Amino acid sequence: MCSKISKADDDLRKMLSEKRIKSVEDRRVGSEVFDKLTLETLYRLAKQGHIDLLNGAISTGKEANVFKGLDDEGNFIAVKIYRVVTSDFKKMQQYIQGDPRFNVKTNNKRQIVYAWVNKEFRNLKRAHESGVRVPKPVVAKNNVLVMEFIGDEEGNPAPLMKHSKIDNPRKVLEKVVDYIKILYKDAKLVHGDLSSFNILILDDEPVIIDISQGVVVENPISEELLNRDVDNLVRDFKKLGVQASYDEIKSQITDL
Q: What is the pLDDT of residues 205-256, one digit of tens each?
A: 999 999 999 999 998 899 999 999 999 999 999 999 999 999 999 999 998 6
Mean pLDDT, range 100-129, rounded to an integer: 88
Predicted confidence (pLDDT) at residue 23 exceeds the cutoff of 50? no
Residues 207/213/219/224 CA torsion (nearest 10 deg): -80
pLDDT of residue 24: 38
Of residues 177 and 16, the one with the higher pLDDT is: 177
- Which residues form the catalytic set? 193, 210
Q: Lowest mean pLDDT: which of 93-102, 127-136, 174-183, 208-217?
A: 93-102
pLDDT of residue 22: 40
CB 225 within 8 A of CB 192: yes
Interatomic CA distance for residues 141 and 98, integer angstroms:
22
pLDDT of residue 187: 97
pLDDT of residue 16: 52
Interatomic CA distance for residues 136 and 11, integer angstroms:
27
Q: What are the residues facing 207 on neighbouring strands?
A: 200
- All structural domains of the chain: 2-148 (3.30.200.20), 161-254 (1.10.510.10)
- Nearest one of 138, 150, 121, 143 to 42, comparing CA atoms: 143
Q: What are the tens digits of pLDDT across the range 120-138? A: 999 999 999 999 999 999 9
Q: Mean of the per-residue pLDDT values for the chain?
A: 86
What pTM value is reported for the model? 0.86
Instruction: Say which DSSP state 84 is in.
Output: T
